[in-house]
Chain A
Amino acid sequence: MPKLGTVTRTTLAAAIAALATATAATAHTTDTTITGAGSTFVAPLLAQWIDPLGSAYGYSLQYSAIGSGGGVAAITNRTVDFGASDAPLTADQFAACKGCVQIPWALSATAVIYNLSGAKNLLHMNGATLAKIFSGQITKWNDPAIRKLNKGVSLPDQTIATVHRSDNSGTTYNFTDYLSSASADWKSKYGRGVAVNWPNGTGQRGSSGVAAGVSQTPGGIGYVDVAYALSNHLKYFAMQNKAGKYATPGLKGILGAAAAQVKPDPKTNELSIVNPATKYKLAYPVSTYTYVIVPTSSPKAAALRKFLFWAVTRGQSYGPKLLFQPIPKPVLVVAEKTIAKIK
């Protein structure tokens, strides 16, 4: 056997080192890692759950906020353990996901943010005017329609710069759902969806992208989960509900909207609380539930069940400071029944 040359020896040494590192690294799996992807809307709440989950069960939660559309795609491809989406799954998506269930696990609102220097917070806005702004029919901040809603407030002669989501977003679904419900014109021209054919404005990725876009654009207007408006100190509108009252995206307004549908749909578990009827006087009209999508048969079934039970019970207590309203009892009951189906 010839003596091994320098090159061979170095290569062998490198290969052994690599194998050793790889085995050492992979042997270190004491935590169960639960991976998820999807909605940026629920990301702030999930971020609060990482540490408590680690100390309660030793679970390591890895979540990537790539938008609701991405979450549905990821769980359909089984590249993650759970998907998160604010837009409820369609029949086609349920079929493509092959045995997935949809569980409402958080409740919050979409804030309509604006960047107007010198203006105060909580200016008034309603759905019809908002639809006209995003469809390009109203282009200036001092348009008579906006002035009518905000009597006594001086609005500048500045162009409105709309910012929307460029990725497939459940927040877009919630926002366009509201615009469609408030404006027949919007409904016929653009409709509702995780992405629509925006006629103007710039697109940004993620709710944090929209928050960034609006905060860096004088005269900007956009829509984000209210937690992003809070954390970035952005101004947002008080939206007029069907009862004529101006509601803010706080816990009271969200709870008021949640009264519009208390029992989830028996087949799909979806709930629609956008633009509630006149009798819900306190409702903030752009509120929404957000869902976790899980397959009923998963290699991590036990961990998922424990995680989700915790999420819909203990996890809700982390919500209020981020303006997530704990889910009401009837919804919780249905959620727990559905979680039990995961095997």
Chain B
Amino acid sequence: MSTHGITRADLQLVHLPRRRRINRAMELLAWLAATIAVAALVVVVWSVAKRGAPALNLDLLTRAPVAFALGPVKQGLANAFAGSLVLVGLATLMTVPVGILIAVYLTEYARPSIRSAVSLALDVLNGVPAIVIAIFVFGLLVVGHGQSGWAGSFALACLMLPLVARSTMEVLLLVPVSLREASLGLGVPRWRTTLSIVLPQTLGGIVTGTVLAVARVAGETAPLLFTSSIVGTQVGWSPNHALQSIPVAIYELSESADPADHARAWAAATVLLVFILLTSLTARWLATRGRRRLSTSR
């Protein structure tokens, strides 16, 4: 009798000491792998925090940058923080309604053939590298019109959409059929059932999915490279013009020769990391809370 890759020879008691030694060696390797992985994270985060913390001050958030300063000058990255807020905010506003609608369509109305087609489209969209999305949005929205916050937000929205749609779909499928049937049986029309009964149950999951998508997209540089990078130093809030963003600012500062620029890049990276970590943790906490609530509500 053999179970997959276990042969009779493996089970020989006479080889036991050798088998135990090999086992020990493999366990050590696994511990080593885990240590390396954790070490990589710790090294990167520690490097960023160590270099970013000294440069973290209110100036970073409130002062605009000074282009090509000849000497030390008080400056910050206010335009990047403002721009990131607008860009990510607009992208979220663009994505969430569309993502929810797509999920509703796929779970409520779509025939299996259409569902697989749309799912495939979402998978393809998820697999397109961000730099290719940048080329696409550049050709679609920037040529002839100029860069703008709209183009940048749209590029970010393309990245967010598969994530929001998929996570909304997952929570929609978790809603028990009995709830739907009860509502329909009481005479509530199908569309109201979906909007007022089913969706509110999934609100937690939708928020989690959105928060995760925001965390993912807040640090994306490539989609903004050709769509919202020709910026001035002043703080702007209007999406009609190109807006600076934190990842693009870090990208540009990282290639500069000035150590003061590097310090600001580290500080911005620290803020970005903290933001992403906080949003990811929030999403995870929301997810476990939601799961607990759904399991107790059954």
Do A5 and B196 form a contact, CB below 8 Å, given A22-B239, A61-B232, A232-B257? yes
A55 interface residue per 8 A CB criterion: no
A contacts with B, residue count (CB < 8 A)? 52
B126 interface residue per 8 A CB criterion: no
A6 interface residue per 8 A CB criterion: yes
The answer to whether A64 and B145 touch across the interface, beta carbons within 8 angstroms, is no
Give the distance in Å from the alpha carbon of A241 to the alpha carbon of B234 in the complex. 42
The answer to whether A35 and B200 touch across the interface, beta carbons within 8 angstroms, is no
The answer to whether B143 and A50 touch across the interface, beta carbons within 8 angstroms, is no
The answer to whether A25 and B239 touch across the interface, beta carbons within 8 angstroms, is yes
A46 to chain B, nearest CB (A): 8
The interface residues of chain A lying within 8 Å CB-to-CB of B86 are 25
The interface residues of chain B lying within 8 Å CB-to-CB of A212 are 255-257
Closest to B229 in A: A64
A189 interface residue per 8 A CB criterion: no
Cβ proximity bits B156-186 to A, threshold 8 Å, 1 near / 0 not: 0000000000000000000000000000000
B57 interface residue per 8 A CB criterion: no
The answer to whether A60 and B67 touch across the interface, beta carbons within 8 angstroms, is no
Which residues, 1 to 27 on A, are CB-close (under 8 Å) to B? 2, 5-8, 11, 14, 18, 22, 25-26
The interface residues of chain B lying within 8 Å CB-to-CB of A6 are 196, 200
Give the distance in Å from the alpha carbon of A171 to the alpha carbon of B69 in the complex. 21
Do A206 and B255 form a contact, CB below 8 Å, given A18-B93, A43-B67, A80-B146? yes
A209 in complex: contacting residue of B145, B233, B255, CB < 8 Å:
B255
The interface residues of chain A lying within 8 Å CB-to-CB of B97 are 11
The answer to whether A35 and B146 touch across the interface, beta carbons within 8 angstroms, is yes
Stretch at the interface among A71-79, A152-160, A191-199: A71-79
A231 interface residue per 8 A CB criterion: yes
The interface residues of chain A lying within 8 Å CB-to-CB of B199 are 7
A48 interface residue per 8 A CB criterion: yes
The interface residues of chain A lying within 8 Å CB-to-CB of B237 are 25, 28
Closest to B146 in A: A79
The answer to whether B192 and A7 touch across the interface, beta carbons within 8 angstroms, is no
B264 to chain A, nearest CB (A): 14
Give the distance in Å from the alpha carbon of A212 to the alpha carbon of B259 in the complex. 9
Do A60 and B232 form a contact, CB below 8 Å, given A22-B239, A26-B238, A209-B255? yes
Of A43, A47, A232, A234, chain B has the most CB atoms within 10 Å of the CB of A47
Cβ proximity bits B55-97 to A, threshold 8 Å, 1 near / 0 not: 0000000000011111000000000000000100010010001
Do A28 and B238 form a contact, CB below 8 Å, given A2-B192, A7-B195, A18-B93? yes
Do A205 and B255 form a contact, CB below 8 Å, given A5-B196, A62-B230, A62-B231? yes
The answer to whether B68 and A48 touch across the interface, beta carbons within 8 angstroms, is yes
Give the distance in Å from the alpha carbon of A28 to the alpha carbon of B255 in the complex. 33
Of B68, B146, B239, B242, chain A has the most CB atoms within 10 Å of the CB of B68
Closest to B206 in A: A7
B291 interface residue per 8 A CB criterion: no
B107 to chain A, nearest CB (A): 16
Closest to B144 in A: A78
Cβ proximity bits B248-287 to A, threshold 8 Å, 1 near / 0 not: 0000000111100000000000000000000000000000
Do A7 and B200 form a contact, CB below 8 Å, given A62-B242, A79-B146? yes
Cβ proximity bits B127-153 to A, threshold 8 Å, 1 near / 0 not: 000000000000000111111000000
Give the distance in Å from the alpha carbon of A6 to the alpha carbon of B195 in the complex. 9
A29 interface residue per 8 A CB criterion: yes
Closest to A5 in B: B196
The answer to whether B67 and A232 touch across the interface, beta carbons within 8 angstroms, is no
The answer to whether A35 and B68 touch across the interface, beta carbons within 8 angstroms, is no
What 4 pairs between A and B have smallest CB-CB spacing?
Answer: A62-B232, A47-B67, A5-B196, A212-B257
Pick 27 A–B contacts, CB within 8 A, sort by A.
A6-B196, A6-B200, A18-B90, A22-B239, A25-B238, A33-B232, A35-B232, A37-B230, A43-B67, A43-B68, A47-B66, A50-B67, A50-B232, A60-B232, A62-B242, A64-B229, A66-B230, A78-B145, A78-B146, A79-B230, A204-B255, A209-B255, A212-B256, A214-B257, A216-B257, A230-B70, A321-B70
